């Protein structure tokens, strides 16, 4: 190509791939209070299954997950429940985002309603735990595969508690400490540095082999690792979602895990948390009239009693 042709027809610059969100299921009502809380409970149960999968060996209370979601199964569950859509520059933990313009999402799970905690057993037998009231997540694409970044937090982003924690970690360099390892994707910002980022430590990042109902599931990472985040392969993600309300048996030997459901075990029935939608705070005209009538009747009854 001559220099003249190069100036007149410059080479095309390829843009990074954008995540195209699939259409939501028609049965999902985004703002219906009853169904929203039923699906939120399913998300909470899914996270509890993840922590059963982690076990004592890989449990952590500070960090994030990268979950392979080839079939959009997790995306379809999370997306209708967004309580908050975060735009740049309110976003954090954006290491995996394809572009700054893409949204980040939050699902609020107050402790009074859902009682979700990330709890891990320490080497001395004690327990370290952290309340979870916010689920931060966003989808991304890497190596032409679909993933969900998911992080459990004890405060929503727009909250004084979250602001104090951010200042403590990023401003003062004081991170949350616990008896178990952290699994943060931005581990370079911690004083202890990264522990699982390099390829030499690959065998200790997660289980060496994962067996589901007798079939070996690949635990190979199919994305570009950023730090110490914990990776969950697609086969594990789908199995936990399909059996979110069942009692899964996890058997760990050395650095291997097998997952199965005993025959005859019925699904765990979870009662949905139903929150009555607010009417706007003001009483309707009919209610006001009824209240006035009842007050008048009470006064009339008092007068008749006095006269008698």
- 61 φ, ψ (degrees, to nearest 5): -115, -10
Q: Find out whether the peptide bond into 89 is cis, omega within 30 degrees of 0.
A: yes
Beta strands 209-212 and 256-261: pairing type?
parallel
For residue 156, being part of any structural domain is answered with yes
Give the structural domain span for 178: 33-261
Whether 240 and 301 map to the same domain: the answer is no
Residue 152 has pLDDT above 90, yes or no: yes
Q: Which whole number is the average pLDDT over 111-125? A: 92
Beta strands 116-121 and 127-132: pairing type?
antiparallel
Residue 116 has pLDDT above 50, yes or no: yes
Whether 299 and 211 map to the same domain: the answer is no
Q: What would the two tokens of residue 123 be?
A: 């080497």
Residue 248 has pLDDT above 90, yes or no: yes
Whether 288 and 153 map to the same domain: the answer is no
CA distance 240 to 259: 10
Whether 297 and 249 map to the same domain: the answer is no
Whether 257 and 290 map to the same domain: the answer is no
CA distance 40 to 272: 9
Whether 254 and 296 map to the same domain: the answer is no
Region label for 115, one of left (φ > 0), alpha (ψ between -120 and 50) or beta (otherwise): left
Whether 225 and 295 map to the same domain: the answer is no
Whether 216 and 308 map to the same domain: the answer is no
- CB proximity list for 303: less than 8 A, separation 6 or greater: none
Q: What would the two tokens of residue 245 be?
A: 């309300």
For the stretch 23-57, pLDDT in tens is 544 444 444 455 567 789 999 999 999 999 999 99
For residue 73, being part of any structural domain is answered with yes
Whether 65 and 142 map to the same domain: the answer is yes
Whether 75 and 188 map to the same domain: the answer is yes
Instruction: Give percent of the chain above pLDDT 90.
Output: 44
Whether 292 and 233 map to the same domain: the answer is no
Q: What is the pLDDT of residue 86?
A: 73
**CA-based nearest residue to 239, from 24, 50, 12:** 50
Q: What would the two tokens of residue 172 be?
A: 């003062």
Helix ranges restricted to H, 123-233: 160-166
Start-to-end C-alpha separation, the chain = 112
Whether 301 and 208 map to the same domain: the answer is no
């Amino acid at each position: 190509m001559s220099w003249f042709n190069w100036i007149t027809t410059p080479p095309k610059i390829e843009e990074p791939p954008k995540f195209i969100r699939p259409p939501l299921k028609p049965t999902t009502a985004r703002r219906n209070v009853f169904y929203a809380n039923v699906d939120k409970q399913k998300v909470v149960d899914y996270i509890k299954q993840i922590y059963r999968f982690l076990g004592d060996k890989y449990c952590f209370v500070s960090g994030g997950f990268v979950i392979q979601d080839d079939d959009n199964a997790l995306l379809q569950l999370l997306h209708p429940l967004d309580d908050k859509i975060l735009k740049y520059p309110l976003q954090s933990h954006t290491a995996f985002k394809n572009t700054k313009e893409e949204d980040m999402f939050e699902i609020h799970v107050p402790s009074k309603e859902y009682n979700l905690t990330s709890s891990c057993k320490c080497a001395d037998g004690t327990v370290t735990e952290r309340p979870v009231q916010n689920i931060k997540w966003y989808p991304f694409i890497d190596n032409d595969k679909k993933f969900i970044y998911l992080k459990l937090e004890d405060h929503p982003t727009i909250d004084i508690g979250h602001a104090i924690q951010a200042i403590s970690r990023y401003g003062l360099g004081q991170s949350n400490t616990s008896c178990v390892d952290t699994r943060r994707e931005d581990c370079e910002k911690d004083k202890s540095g990264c522990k699982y980022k390099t390829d030499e430590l690959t065998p200790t990042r997660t289980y060496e082999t994962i067996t589901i109902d007798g079939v070996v599931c690949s635990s190979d990472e199919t994305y570009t690792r950023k730090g110490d985040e914990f990776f969950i392969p697609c086969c594990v993600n789908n199995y936990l979602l399909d059996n979110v309300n069942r009692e899964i048996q996890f058997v760990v030997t050395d650095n291997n895990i097998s997952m199965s459901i005993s025959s005859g075990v019925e699904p765990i029935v979870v009662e949905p948390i139903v929150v009555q939608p607010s009417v706007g705070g003001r009483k309707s005209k009919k209610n006001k009239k009824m209240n006035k009538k009842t007050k008048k009747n009470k006064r009339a009854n008092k007068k008749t009693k006095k006269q008698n």
